[in-house]
Amino acid sequence: MIVRLGDLLALANEDLRDELSTELGRLNNVNDWIAIEREFRICRGLRIAKREMKGIIKKFKIKVSVEDRDLFEEAFGKIFHAERELGEYIGESLESLATMRDLPLDLENDFNRVVEEVTKFQNFLKAERQELILLETDIIEKI
């Protein structure tokens, strides 16, 4: 998604306003949202590790302190909560950006507003992606 927003900004930098308008409209695509949701989810290995942790402990009768398990579950809870909130925000933001395709982009104020909103959203996504990476790193350190 970050790359796609960069593509929109490239169209704006080249002053390709009709193409920018078309691409804004394409942001309102549910299939793209599903792909975006997958992009932001934590890696598959961590999800499998969470699911199988209890089984591994039982199977090998490994004694893990309650505190360790609680910290592990808490860390996963933070990531899943952040993912859910981020997914909802991304969906709402894409819908909002898609409606901007109806603005008269030949007017400088509207064009500048679109560029500003796309840039803001792209910067937000970069920061949130970094946060999720930090949360994932925290979990890996706890395993």
Split into its structural domains, the chain has a count of: 1
Q: If pLDDT is split at 50, 70 and 90, which confidence band does 41 have? A: low
How is residue 18 written in tokens? 């009709």
Ranking 18-22, 87-91, 102-106, 117-121 by mean pLDDT, the lowest is: 87-91
Count other C-beta atoms under 10 Å from residue 31's C-beta: 7
pTM for the model stands at 0.67
| Per-residue pLDDT reduced to its tens digit, 79-109 | 777 777 877 888 888 888 889 988 898 889 9
Residue 119 has pLDDT above 50, yes or no: yes
> Distance of CA 8 to CAs 15, 25, 101, Å?
11, 11, 12
> Per the structure block, which two tokens stand in for 17?
């306003």
Domain enclosing residue 124, as ranges: 2-142
DSSP labels, 26-56:
HT--HHHHHHHHHHHSPPHHHHHHHHHHHHH
